Structure 1
Amino acid sequence: MAMTTVAKTTVFITGASRGIGREIALACARQGNNVVIAAKSDTPHPKLAGTIHSVAQEVEDAGGQALAIKLDVREEAAVTAAMAHAAAHFGGIDVLVNNASAIQLSSVQDTEIKRFDLIHSINTRGTLVCSKAAIPYLKQSANGHIVTLSPPINLAPHWLGPYAPYTLTKYGMTLLTLGLAQELKADGVSCTTLWPQTTIATAAIEYALDPKLLKRSRTPAIMADAALAILTTDDQSLSGQSLVDEALLRERGVTDFEHYKVDPECEQLYRDLYLDR
């Protein structure tokens, strides 16, 4: 697969104030990139560390150029304005990382419709809104990418039954991205999804699943490294694929994954949702 450097690339990341989004931002910054930190978190949270401004400072300290934008991906006009602002500020947009997401692990019967409306509006609809707004700029890039953090579609009943509402929104993100791969093929824009092999130590695991899983998880760094592997591929060879972080990195020659563990002593990492092997 052809490779190129990521330097001087402008990367627009949603949900970038903490967790995986922040880690991807810092990884891109270390390559000397322009990074747009787009998230709702513009003031400190009592329980969750990180704001768009603190991450912007970290990006600058890491060697990148930062632009912090307070953004709710549900607001179409705000997203359109944010893309225009970023493109004007940095001279274009080369990469969109659809990282913003909401989680709700409950069955149809136990999910309030207003809660489903929320996760759908952030996950599926937010991915569509951001992608649509970014496309005009990505078409102008020599190496345009849309990377969406969503899983391979697994229709096994044991994944569909327990929490169909959330699954519907995440699979919707994947279907949208795979569709965009075909829609934008002639425009030279690569569209892929990325999902972790194991759970990643983030607030979502701590508060939405089980804090005990943190020790059985990997750090967000593995997702950042996998994202860089995608962004440094310039021949569209990955476009239209649903990628898993460990498998992609192994394909690129990585053999040691021990340093990604939260707990170096943990021998049984927790496999992430929707992955059976």
Structure 2
Amino acid sequence: MWFSRHCAYTMSKYGMSMCVLGMHEEFRKDNIAVNAIWPRTAIWTAALDMLTEGKGKQMSRKPTIMADAAYIILSRNSRDFTGNFCLDEDVLKEEGITDFTQYSYEPNAELLPDFFVPGAEFQAYLPWKKMFEKSKI
């Protein structure tokens, strides 16, 4: 299975997803929204830097894409928008933002899809497979 090397990480993401589903109902009566946001592609972080030994930056986006999408989600009416699992790109597109080059380190580079996003093509991971296999994890 594709997540065999990432069992603990996969379990943590699943657990967080279950928290969104439970807490959005628990806090609905208080008009407190609980939503989740996922990146469509890899986001350049210290963890990815370590996993790719500094070579993954060109295939990643800047963390600001997540910040901008989170701002939009947090600005929505909590009575109407709760219990959702959102992708950063989709949230921005709904607001009319379709040019994502400002979020890329290398504007024309092929981005690595996030492994936990439905519809992400596992084949896109294959060119980077050797890099991840050599990682320290």
Taking structure 1 as the reference length, what is the TM-score of the superposition? 0.41
Which residue pairs with 1:117 in the alignment?
A: none
Q: Which runs of 5+ in 1 are unaligned?
A: 1-156
Which residue pairs with 2:28 in the alignment?
A: 185
**Does the CA-based 8 Å contact 2:41-2:113 persist in structure 1?**
yes
Q: Residue deviations 1:155-182, cap 9 Å, x none? A: xx534x3321221112101111221001
Q: How does 1:159-238 map to 2 (within 5 A)?
A: 159=3, 161-238=4-81
Which residue pairs with 1:245 in the alignment?
A: 88
Q: Residue deviations 1:59-117, cap 9 Å, x none? A: xxxxxxxxxxxxxxxxxxxxxxxxxxxxxxxxxxxxxxxxxxxxxxxxxxxxxxxxxxx
Residue 189 of structure 1: how far off its partner (Å): 0.3
SS of the residue aligned with 1:243? strand
Runs of 4+ in 1 over 6 A off after TM superposition: none
The counterpart of 2:2, out of the listed 158, 162, 169, is 158
Counting aligned pairs with the same residue, the percent is 35
The counterpart of 1:270, out of the listed 103, 112, 115, is 112
More helix by share: 2
SS of the residue aligned with 2:48? helix
Taking structure 2 as the reference length, what is the TM-score of the superposition? 0.79
More strand by share: 1
Q: How does 1:42-53 map to 2 (within 5 A)?
A: none
**Does the CA-based 8 Å contact 1:201-1:262 persist in structure 2?**
no
AA partner of residue 5 (structure 2):
P
Q: How does 1:1-277 map to 2 (within 5 A)?
A: 157-159=1-3, 161-266=4-109, 268-275=110-117, 276-277=119-120
- Say which one has the larger Rg: 1
Residue 209 of structure 1: how far off its partner (Å): 4.4
- The 2-side partners of 1:238 and 1:209 are apart by 36
Using CA pairs under 8 Å that are at least 6 residues apart, name the structure with larger relative contact order, 1 or 2: 2
Number of aligned residues: 119
SS of the residue aligned with 2:66? helix
